[in-house]
Amino acid sequence: MTILGIGAILSDASAALARDGVLLAAVEQKKIARRLRPGELPVEAIESCLEIGGISALQVDCVAVARPVARNAQTEFLEDLRHRFPNARVVAVDHHLAHAASAYYASGFEEATVLTLDRSGDFRCGALWKATGTQLEAEKELYFPDSPGELYGRVTKLLGYEPRAEEHKVQWMSTGGEPEFMDALSAALPLDDSGWPTKGLHAQLEFPSAHALNIAASLQKFINRTVIAMAGKGENLCLAGGLFLNALTVAAQERAGNFKRVFVQPAAGNSGTALGALFYAWHSVYGQKKRIPFHDLNLGPEYNAEQIKKVVENCKLRFRYLGTSEETIEAAIVDLAQDRIVAWMHGRMEFGPRALGNRSILASPMSPYSTENLNVFIKHREPFRKFAASVPEEEAAKYFEVGENGRFLATVGRVKPEYKERFGAAILGDDLVRVHTVRREDNPLYWKLLHAAAKPFGAPVLFNTSFNLFGDPLVCSPRDAVRSFYSSGIDAMFIGQFYLEK
């Protein structure tokens, strides 16, 4: 049985593929096509998934599509699907149901409370679900404009950033401020006794004597408090929807202690609905009881030595071929120990918004210039946007306090007092650090690189940020990587076993 999931047609289109209960691929359109045209079928993402899986369109049994799919051309959209997949059953999945399915079925929990929150979704902007076995039942719903996500977007615009695109900047800005405007936010989005929004969001937001950092801090605290109240209490909690791309909100929910375990879908935004639609079809359309295993996010395309060599030679670039993974790691450690910035592209591209060691830019945690070099000269972004600290999972507790969602960089942790000075360049306010815990089975090469870093740096930790520039999507192909490398201040690049330097 082959199921193709398609999500976020109107915003962040993506595709996912499973066969006989195994997740084979998941790809976002903007990464593979290097463009995004809302409302179009993500043809390149679909073709990439089919190529990865070795499956033809004629072999697809079901196409599960997360709604909404089109504003004015739904008939044409469905006709296109039928033409492309003539043997497939087409299933439409409600937007928030796809969000809920993406988190619950990936969590491994047999029972859970599921909270989904975004800006507007498909009429709904939130829902609370009861999940048992393979069943998901909505117990409470939230409709636009009673939307915490819309509130976040409006404050983002007020602070001079682009709503629905740059909320992440406001998130990190919040760590440097004080929450002095809580009353104004409470008035803008009133809550009932259970902590759920109860009236439409006021059209006008005003902050007397406004200070950007304090506005951001107030917004973050208000959202954290609201989400904790909306979720309630229980054993297991699953989170999905665009609001839960906010790692500070996830961390606040983890630390609240209202649930023993918290799992957030790491691709919590709209692109993750492709996974949710696929999972829903597997369980609810075909009645399967066994979960599709969700091991890691290494679900995109990868490139072999021949493909990489063709690109670098066509670009007339000088390179050195490293014969083994040990040579690759040794060369990278030499560069990092000399305070050089290294691009690291190996294996399959990650699904979701974060680089987890396959499409990353790396720096030494001991360099006093890491923040300046990465943020100002390479990423060209604000200084309050810190990079992550990658650490082997089994070593993380020595240096940081972080929850299970650190595996996907979906939460934040705290640095332990004795290591504050060592990792100072990555610390946000209140000793917070974006911690990425790396399992050997998820990424063996990156895990080995981190352990090799212990010798020169005294700890198996490297600073990690996404390999992309100027707001572009994460690099996907060798050509994307070469373009970004030579458009930046990155010193050296490892693409597979090919080493390039400036």
Does 39 score more than 90 pLDDT?
A: no
Report the pLDDT averaged over residues 434-457: 97
The model's pLDDT over 336-373, given as tens digits with 9 standing for 90+, comes to: 999 999 999 999 999 999 999 999 999 999 887 766 77
What phi and psi, each to the nearest 5 degrees, are found at residue 172?
-75, -30
Q: Counting runs of H as helices and runs of E as strands, what totals does the chain give? A: 16, 21
- Side-chain half-sphere exposure of 450, counting CA atoms within 13 A: 25
- Helix axis angle, 212-231 to 148-158, nearest 10°: 180
Does 74 score more than 90 pLDDT?
A: no
**What is the distance between the alpha carbons of residues 162 and 251, in angstroms, rounded to a whole number?**
24
Residue-wise over 62-81: b if at least 16 C-beta within 10 A, else e?
bbbbbbbbbeeeeeebbeeb
Report the pLDDT averaged over residues 477-491: 94
**What is the distance between the alpha carbons of residues 96 and 61, in angstroms, rounded to a whole number?**
24
- DSSP category for residue 197: B
**What is the distance between the alpha carbons of residues 389 and 400, in angstroms, rounded to a whole number?**
10
**What is the distance between the alpha carbons of residues 273 and 103, in angstroms, rounded to a whole number?**
10
3-state secondary structure of 450: helix
The model's pLDDT over 383-402, given as tens digits with 9 standing for 90+, comes to: 788 899 999 999 999 999 99
- The residue ranges of DSSP E strands in 373-482, in sequence order, are 388-392, 400-401, 413-415, 432-433, 435-438, 462-466
Q: What is the pTM assigned to this prediction?
A: 0.95
The model's pLDDT over 165-183, given as tens digits with 9 standing for 90+, comes to: 899 999 999 999 999 999 9
Lowest mean pLDDT among 103-107, 350-354, 426-430, 482-486: 426-430
CATH numbers and ranges of domains, the chain = 2-95+274-285 (3.30.420.40), 97-267 (3.30.420.40), 305-501 (3.90.870.20)
- Side-chain half-sphere exposure of 143, counting CA atoms within 13 A: 1
**What is the distance between the alpha carbons of residues 117 and 130, in angstroms, rounded to a whole number?**
15
Structure confidence at residue 120 (pLDDT): 82
Report the pLDDT averaged over residues 205-222: 88
**What is the distance between the alpha carbons of residues 116 and 129, in angstroms, rounded to a whole number?**
8
Rg of the chain on CA atoms, in Å: 22
Average pLDDT, the chain: 93
**What is the distance between the alpha carbons of residues 112 and 124, in angstroms, rounded to a whole number?**
21
Beta carbons of 428 and 408 less than 8 angstroms apart: no
Does 72 score more than 70 pLDDT?
A: no
Report the pLDDT averaged over residues 109-121: 94
Beta carbons of 102 and 275 less than 8 angstroms apart: yes
**What is the distance between the alpha carbons of residues 65 and 87, in angstroms, rounded to a whole number?**
16
Does 36 score more than 90 pLDDT?
A: no
Amino acid identity of residue 14, one-letter, is: S
**What is the distance between the alpha carbons of residues 414 and 322, in angstroms, rounded to a whole number?**
37
Does 200 score more than 80 pLDDT?
A: no
Lowest mean pLDDT among 36-40, 263-267, 387-391: 36-40
Who has greater pLDDT, 77 or 59?
59
> Nearest CA to 249 among 432, 467, 464, 28?
432
Report the pLDDT averaged over residues 17-30: 98
Does 479 score more than 70 pLDDT?
A: yes
